[in-house]
Structure 1
C-alpha cells in the first residue's frame, strides 16, 4: 500500500480503513514484525516518528536463530555480505590475562554459524526492502503517535507530523491523522509511548552504567591482536570489536564523576583511541555517542488489543549482544500468533502466551548480561584484583547455558526424551529434493512443520491431519526425498531419542514423540493449546 491509499486527495487520513495491525516504531524489531505480518498477507500500517532510517549502528551482534529468521524473510544472504563471523568473545583483565571466553565458533542448530558481528544499517536497509516488497504493508515515516483510544473491536491512534533527523530533535508539525487497527503493537523503543499508555510498570534489575561508543571506518587495515572482547581494566573498562566487514567499534566506560558533555567533542574520542594507534589518518570517526546501559523488563506486555515488543518491553546491557536479538525473537513469536488470531484460527487468548513465553527467556538474558557487565564494570583496583584471582582459582562458575522456552504454547504433557526437546529450537540441515540441494527452509519451506525421522510413518487421524492442514503445516518425512545430505537429521533424531518433532513458525519445538503412535497425542495437544473456533480442534 502507498500512503495515498490511506489518505484522501487533501492528505487527510481516510477513516474507513481498518488495518489489521497498526505498528508504532520502525527499527529492526518493527521492521521484522511488519515484514512477517505482510508476508502472511495482513494489512499493516507502520508509523515511525523519524522521517528516515537511522543509518548508524547501535546493535552489533546476531546469532544463528536470528539468521534463520532473516532467512525466512529472504534477506539472510544479503545481510550476510556485510557480516563478520565471530569465533570468540573474550574478557581480559588489564594485564591481558583471559578471565572469561564465550566460544562462538560452532555451527548453530538453526543451520547458520552460531554468531556474527554485523553493521546495523546493513540490516535495516535489507529489512526495509523486505517490508516495502509486501503490498499489504504501508510505511509512514515522520509521524509521531500522540494519543490512543481503546475500543471493543479496535484501537484508534492519533499521530502528528514530525520533522527532523535521528541526530537532531524532532519537531512536531501541524498536520495530524487518525488511524485504526484491530491490534496495536508498540515497537517504539526504550522510551515507548505505547508502553506509557499501556500503563505498565517495569522491573529494574539495578544495573546502570554510562559508556562512550566510537564507531570507525578504517582507511587502512587495523590489527590489534585482540579484536573482539572486553578489557576489564579498572582504570577505564572498555571493549573493541569488528562491526561487520567494514567498520570497527570501541566502547569506553565513563568513570565515576565524569561529565558526559565533554565526550561530545571528537578530540575526546581520538585521545581514548590513541593507545591503540588509531589516528584520523587511519580511520574515519563515523559516530560517537554516550549511552546509559540499563536492565529493565515491562511487567505487562499486553492489554486487550495493545501489545509491546522489543525495547518497548525490555532493555538490557550489551555485554551478551542479545538486546536486538531478543526483540527480533519477540517479533517472530508475536507474528505467528497474530496471524492465527487475525485469520480466526485461534482465539484472542492465544496472545496471552506471548509474554508467558518471552518474558522469562528475556529475563534470563538480562540477568546474564548484567552479570557479564559486572565483570567488566569494576573501577576499584582492589575489587578488580580479587575478581581476577577468583577467576584464576576457578571459583567463578561458567556462564549458564543459553535459555530455551519453559512455558507458554508448548506441549507441557510431554514426558521422557520428548520433554527434553520441547521448547528448544528445531534443527535445520541441508536436504536434497527435486534436484535442488540447500538449507531445509529454502528447499522445503518454513512455518508449522511436523518433521519425521527416517523410517517413521505418519500415524494421524483424519481430524488431526485436517488441523495441520488448516494451520498450513508441512508434514515432512526425512528419507530419500527430501534426502538428508549430511546426515544432520539422522544425528539429531539419534541424539535426542525422538522419532518426530512438531515445530512452530518461530522454529521452537511445540511437541515431540518417541514413537509414531504418540504423534496423534501431540497434534491433539496443539489443537487444545491454540483454542479458537471449534472447526480447528482436531477430531478424535
Structure 2
C-alpha cells in the first residue's frame, strides 16, 4: 500500500467509476472504497445521452459492448390520461458521435468501466468497505475505513490521500464529514418502479418513452434496453409503502392499465423510489470534493440523473489529473463547482418543473394544464444548458460565445493506417482541431504538450498531425462557426474557436484559464 495515494474515492457508482478511470488512466495512484461487495446486477439509470456515451468510450473497455443492448430514444412524450401526447421533446439526432438519447442497461455500462479500472495497476478497489472517519490536513486527507457492518477496531485502517472524492450517494458520509449541507427545494415524491423482463414482443406503443399525466395516478413506461420494459407509478400520500413491494400490486396495475400479464412479462425488479430536488451548497471543502448524488438529487423527468453524475466524475477527474501532474495550479480546482453547479442546477430545476406539471392530481387543474399544453399557451421548455463559467474562452467583452461551452463533435477519422472514432485516434484529452498547420511558438506547443493536447490537421496532409475527416464532421463544425480551429476539453466541451491568426492567443488564454505552472511537465 502506498504511503499516500493521490486520490481516494468513496463510492463506486457512475461518478466514482468515471473519476477512477479518468485519474487511473493518467497514471495517478487511486484507491476506491465501496460499501457493496458486488456490482448491483439490476438496472437503475436507464436514459443515456451521447455525451455520456462518449465518456464511457474514454473510460471503459468497450463502448460498443456497453451499448450492445441499448435502444435509441427519439422523443420524450408527456401525454394526457389517454396517453395522447400533449408535449413531445425531440430527442432524435446525434451527439458526440452517438445517438443523442438511448435506453441502456446500467450494469452493462458500469461493467465496461470497471473492467477498464480493474486493468490499471495503479488503482486499488476495495469492495465491501465503508468509510467512517475523515480528517483534513494541510497537504493530505486521512480516511478511516472498515469492512461493511464491522465493529471490530482491529479491522479498521487509515489511509492518506492528497484529495478525496465523495461519490457515495444521497446519504453521503463524505459530504456530512466535510460539513457540507444540501439545499432542499421542497419537492418529495414516491414512485413505484417495476422493471419487467419481456417474454414476447410487446405492442408497438411500448417502444416509446411517455409520461402519462393521469390525475387519478400519474405513470410512465419506456423500453429498458432491448430485453426489458420499465413501468413507474406515482404513489398517493396515504398509500402504504411496504405494500408496494407485493408483486400483485405490479400485476394488478399492468392488467388494469395495459392488459399485460405473466404471459408477456416477468418481474425483474420492484422498488419504491423517493425523489427530491436538492443541490449541495458547496462541492469542495479544502481537499475534499463531492460528486453525483452526494452533490445533487433530481426527479427523473429529464432522464439526466446518471448522466449528470458521469459529468461530475469526468470534470473533477481531468482537473485533479492536471493538478497532480504538476502542470496546473490548485486554483484550477475551484472551477469544478463553478462549472458543474450552474449546469446541473438548470437540469435539476427543469426536471422539478416537469415534475410539478406531471403530478397534478386535481382533475380541474389537470384539465387546465392539458388545455394550455394542447393550445401552446405555455412557454416552451428551456434549452438544454451548456457551460457558461470556468475554463472557457472569453470574447473581448468577457462574454461567452454561443459555441463556447457547447459539446464538440466526434466523427470518424483516418490517421496513418488506422480508421475509427475520432477520440480513439486522437486520445481522450484536450484536442486542437485545425484546418491548417498551426503557427505556434515553442512555448505554446509546450503548453499543449503539458496538458496532453493532441493536434489534428484537416487540410495540410503533409503535416505529421494530418488526419482525414472521413464524414466531414469536423470540417462542417468549423465552417458552421466560421472558424479555422477549435480546442475541446477532456469532457468534450468546446474551450473556444479561433481564426488561424487568433489561434496563438487562444492557446495562451487556455494556459491562463488552466492556471498552468512554469514547471509544467508533459501529461
For Structure 1 versus Structure 2, the TM-score category normalised by the shorter chain is over 0.9
Partner SS state of residue 420, structure 1: coil
Residues in 1 aligned to 2:124 and 2:427: alpha-carbon distance in whole angstroms = 26
Q: Which residue of 1 aligns with 2:239?
A: 258
Looking at structure 2, the residues matched to 159 and 131 of structure 1 have their Cα atoms a distance apart, in angstroms, of 21
TM-score (norm 2): 0.95
Which residue does 2:517 correspond to in 1?
A: 533
**SS of match in other structure, 1:99:** strand
Matched, 1:517 2:498: no
Match of 1:435 in 2: 417
> In 1, distance between residues paired with 2:273 and 2:152?
28
Distance 1:81 1:207, change over 3 A: same
Give unmatched runs, 5+ long, in structure 2.
none
Seen in structure 2, the aligned counterparts of structure 1 residues 231 and 134 have a Cα distance that, compared at 3 Å, is same
The alpha carbon displacement at 1:387 in A equals 0.3
Shift of 1:173: 5.5
Looking at structure 2, the residues matched to 451 and 414 of structure 1 have their Cα atoms a distance apart, in angstroms, of 22
Matches within 5 A, 1:390-539: 390-413=372-395, 419-453=401-435, 456-479=436-459, 480=461, 481-513=466-498, 515-536=499-520
Which residues of 2 match residues 72-111 of structure 1 at below 5 A? 72-73=58-59, 74-108=61-95, 110-111=96-97
State the aligned residue count.
513
CA contact (8 A) 2:56 2:109 kept: no
Alignment equivalent of 1:156, drawn from 139, 142, 155:
142
Evaluate the alpha carbon distance shift between residue 276 and residue 155 of structure 1 in structure 2; reply closer, same or farther with a 3 A threshold: same
Q: Deviations over 1:88-138 (max 9, x none)?
A: 211110123211111122111x11110100111112222221110111111
* Distance in 1 (alpha carbons) for counterparts of 2:235 and 2:313: 33
C-alpha deviation, 1:435, in angstroms: 3.2
Task: Give, in angstroms, the shift of residue 424 of structure 1.
Answer: 1.2
Equivalent runs, 1:108-507 vs 2, <5 Å:
108=95, 110-162=96-148, 175-223=155-203, 225-226=205-206, 227-274=208-255, 275-413=257-395, 419-453=401-435, 456-479=436-459, 480=461, 481-507=466-492
* Aligned counterparts of 2:65 and 2:397: Cα–Cα separation in 1: 41
Compute the TM-score of the two structures, normalised by the length of structure 1: 0.92
Alignment match, 1:23: 9
1:34–1:46 CA contact under 8 A, matched in 2: yes
Cα pair 1:212 1:263 within 8 Å, conserved: yes
Is the contact between residue 418 and residue 512 of structure 1 (CA under 8 Å) also seen in structure 2? no
| C-alpha separation in 2, matches of 1:259 and 1:314 | 27
Deviations 1:481-506 (A, max 9, x none): 41121222222111111111111111
User: Matched residue of 1:421: which SS?
Assistant: coil
**For residues 102 and 49 of structure 1, what CA distance do their matches in structure 2 show?**
38
**Is the contact made by 1:68 and 1:112 (CA closer than 8 Å) also made in structure 2?**
yes
Larger mean CA deviation between 468-477 and 298-307 belongs to 468-477
CA distance in 2, matches of 1:59, 1:236: 23
* C-alpha distance after superposition, 1:154-189 (max 9, x if no partner): 1111112115xxxxxxx6565212111111110000
1:385-416: CA deviations, max 9, x gaps? 00000012211122111110001111224579
Partner Cα distance (1:467, 1:484) in 2: 25
Selected match of 2:25 from 36, 39, 48: 39
Name the SS of the counterpart of 1:397 in structure 2: coil
Task: Give per-residue Cα distances to partners, 1:37-71, cap 9 Å, x unaligned.
Answer: 11111111100111111212211111000111111
With over 3 angstroms needed to count, the CA separation of the structure-2 counterparts of 1:411 and 1:17, relative to structure 1, is same
Is the 8 Å Cα contact of residues 210 and 253 (structure 1) preserved in structure 2? yes
- Residues 290/352 of structure 1: CA separation in 2 closer, same or farther (3 Å cut): same
Q: CA deviation at 1:297?
A: 0.5
2: distance between equivalents of 1:115 and 1:124?
18
Contact kept? 2:392, 2:400, Cα under 8 Å = no
Distance 2:269 2:24 in 1: 33
Query: What is the RMSD computed on CA atoms of the aligned residues?
Result: 1.9
Structure 1 residue 194, shift from structure 2 partner: 0.5
2:45 aligned residue (41, 59, 64):
59
Gaps of 5+ in 1: 1-5, 7-15, 164-170
Q: Is the 8 A contact 1:414 1:512 kept in 2?
A: no
The alpha carbon displacement at 1:282 in A equals 2.3
* Alignment deviations for residues 345-364 of structure 1 (CA, whole Å, 9 cap, x no partner): 11111111000000000000
Distance 2:108 2:382 in 1: 31
1:75 Cα deviation (Å)?
2.4
Over 3 Å counting, the alpha-carbon distance change for 1:105 and 1:413 in structure 2 is closer
- Change beyond 3 A, Cα 1:301–1:417: closer
Give the Cα–Cα distance (whole angstroms) in 2 for the partners of residues 291 and 485 of structure 1: 45
